[in-house]
Amino acid sequence: MVTHAKTHTRQLFKQQAKLMGNQFELSVVAGNAHWADSVIQAGINEIRRIEQLLTTFRDDSETNLINKCAGIVPVKVSRETFDLIERAQRISGVTQGAFDLSYGSVDKRLWNFDTTATTLPDKQTALKMVRLINYRNIVLNKEYCTVFLKEKGMRIGFGGIGKGYAAEKAKEVMKKMGATSGVVNASGDLTTWGYQPNGKPWTIGIVNPNAANTVLSYMTVTDMAVATSGNYEKYIMIDGKKYSHTINPKTGLPVTGIKSVTIIAPNAEIADAMATPVTIMGIEAGLFMINQMKDIEAVLIDDNDRIYTSKNIHITK
């Protein structure tokens, strides 16, 4: 249930829900608890709808149908799924393949991130495991609204963009119902609009990668989205070195050097999709790319806890 409080004064109502395998929290500023509840419920229902569309845990989802027919036949999908894949393909182009929906093709035996792993696979094995990752082999036909994976065994997955997309769609539904202010937080990928009940912008904390429950710095935002990708939650230690759960799709080896990347963008889908590629590209190339892009900013923390930011960003400690 929504956290209740006195009616009529505008205040923040929030509710948590487990969706898309993640903890979501939807918040809305309202003067009435009952109305707030219905708005948040509509947001949750929208995220559930998207989960059914994109999940790989249901045999009949569009994602699974595309994957089943890899190397065999194009699959007709809803315009919504098609458009999302098309936008993802554009991001793959911009990031030179550091973002890639066919990341799902990686052989699961390569990286299961159990703590028993004591060595990295050799370079040849790693390359073999990622040979099917290639966004150029996702063939889209706009006229027929079909998706075709060229190679047998290829798989796509929306892990890198789905949460952000769902957050953005939930926000859209809540705004249509008249919610002038709120936050949809998809397990750290969040989108904000309007203002807090006190009229101030929303305050977003950037997590300290060395102590997950502490905040390194704060930013104030409104009508913006923020997404963070970090190795502080999932990683393995080999010979005293930390290896991220993020795999470089070109080498099959885990990324090192960056503890966390936070992206600030007008839209949660883009913020979500850009966090991983910047991690893969590394500080110099990642920041160079972000600085070429309009309305997108980044905060990076390297393995030595140095903070790097794109050119227009201001953070406070």
* Domain boundaries of the chain, sorted by first residue: 62-149
Residue 190: half-sphere exposure toward Cβ, Cα within 13 Å? 20
Tell me, what's the pLDDT at 84? 98
Amino acid letter, residue 100: D
Could you please report the per-residue DSSP string of 267-303?
SHHHHHHHHHHHHHH-HHHHHHHHHHSTT-EEEEEET
What are 280's two structure tokens?
A: 């893969």
For each of the chain's 317 residues, which pLDDT tens digit applies? 555 444 458 899 999 999 999 999 999 999 999 999 999 999 999 999 999 999 988 888 999 999 999 999 999 999 999 999 999 999 999 999 999 999 877 755 555 555 566 677 778 887 887 888 999 999 999 999 999 999 999 999 998 899 999 999 999 999 999 999 999 999 889 999 999 999 999 998 887 777 667 777 788 889 999 998 876 656 677 777 767 677 888 888 888 888 889 999 999 999 999 999 999 999 999 999 999 999 999 999 998 889 999 998 876 65
What are 216's two structure tokens?
A: 């390194």
CATH of domain 62-149: 1.10.3980.10
Tell me, what's the pLDDT at 5? 45
pTM: 0.89
